[in-house]
Structure 1
Amino acid sequence: METRQHLAAIDDLVGRAFPERAESSGYRDSGPGHHVDALATSEEFWECDATHRLDVEEQYEADRDGLSTLLGARWGPPQVFSLWSVRDRSMSGERIPEPWNVLSCHVPDLHLWRARGRWIGLGVSQWDKELPFQLLVVVTTVDPP
């Protein structure tokens, strides 16, 4: 059931118009040319041991990989796009367009497709070791930097 819901949420975002101004609602951030939405969010890790945190991270990566397989049947195999160099360029003062700039702060890489005139990506986010993991979907018309 959860996989079906994730696929429906991805399809909804792919078909959704982009707002003219940045807006947020819950775990969804949208702006000119992009949507970023959390398909799933874990618990926080303030008092958890490292083993539990690692187990959760591995589960979120497995969920991303499973969805990637299903989306790959639609759009072909994903390109794995590292955001490390994007973050490095941003820290060096280069202006990086959204959603790529903020994603580079907390998502190491994306499974990325070009379909229906948009970039569609899946990634696992974590802002800091105590904060939750999120399975993110990104839909944008902004080319990766």
Structure 2
Amino acid sequence: MTTAQHLRAIDLLRSREFPAEFGPSDVGTEGPGFHIAELNGQIPQMPQMSDMGADADVDAEQLAAEHEALLRALTHRWGEPELFSLASTALRADADEDIPEPWLRLSAQLTYLCLWRIEDRWIGVGGSEEWLLAVVTETDPP
């Protein structure tokens, strides 16, 4: 996807109502108070060792470039983001602390998010070597 397509996806999520139930959506996952978009498509299965190689390196580089371009565009639009670590959220969840969604789900997938507070919603973008995610939520970070 291009940066323009990523921005359109985020804008679409910002305009949507939140559902009453957890479940899949046309772009990822959603639930009461949140939408999570998988901007690079479905989260892939972990590759087998024999599947890893040059293609995985190219895909990871492409994904990192898309992530950086999207962050630049959003920073231009909304200003500098807040960097929010999900590592401590994951540790707290492992210690059986009650972590609200979507933060629990995100902490299982990402190490950190860049967050913007826009009106009454948080908009976040995070990436890893496997995926690029965007979240729109009305639930404050834990």
Q: The TM-score by the shorter chain falls in which range?
A: 0.7 to 0.9
Q: Which residue in 2 is equivalent to 1:143? A: 140
In the TM superposition, residue 21 of structure 1 has moved relative to its aligned partner by 1.2
The question of 1:92 aligning with 2:89 is answered no
> Which residue of 1 is the match for residue 38 of structure 2?
38
Q: Given the superposition, is the C-alpha separation of residues 43 and 28 from structure 1 closer, same or farther in structure 2, using an over 3 Å criterion?
A: closer
The amino acid across from 1:81 in the alignment is: F
Deviations 1:93-123 (A, max 9, x none): 1000000001111111111111132100111
What's the offset of the Cα at 1:52?
4.6
Write the distance in 1 (CA, Å) between the matches of 2:6 and 2:94: 33
Which residue of structure 2 aligns with residue 21 of structure 1?
21
- Determine the structure 1 residue equivalent to 2:81: 78
If the length of structure 2 is used for normalisation, what is the TM-score?
0.87
* Number of equivalent positions: 139
Secondary structure (helix, strand or coil) at the match of 1:137 reads: strand
- In structure 2, C-alpha distance between the alignment counterparts of 1:78 and 1:88, rounded to whole Å: 23
Which secondary structure state, in structure 2, belongs to the residue aligned with residue 20 of structure 1?
A: coil
Residue 3 in 1 paired to residue 15 in 2?
A: no
> Which residue is 1:69 aligned to?
72
The alpha carbon displacement at 1:12 in A equals 0.3
Cα deviation, residue 50, structure 1: 5.4
SS of structure 1 residue aligned to 2:133: strand
SS at match of 1:111: strand
Unaligned runs of 5+ in 1: 127-132
The AA in structure 2 aligned to 1:5 is Q
1:52-131 equivalence runs, <5 A? 52-125=55-128
Root-mean-square deviation (CA, aligned residues, Å) is: 2.0
Where does the alignment leave 5 or more consecutive residues of structure 2 unmatched?
none
Q: Percent identity?
A: 42
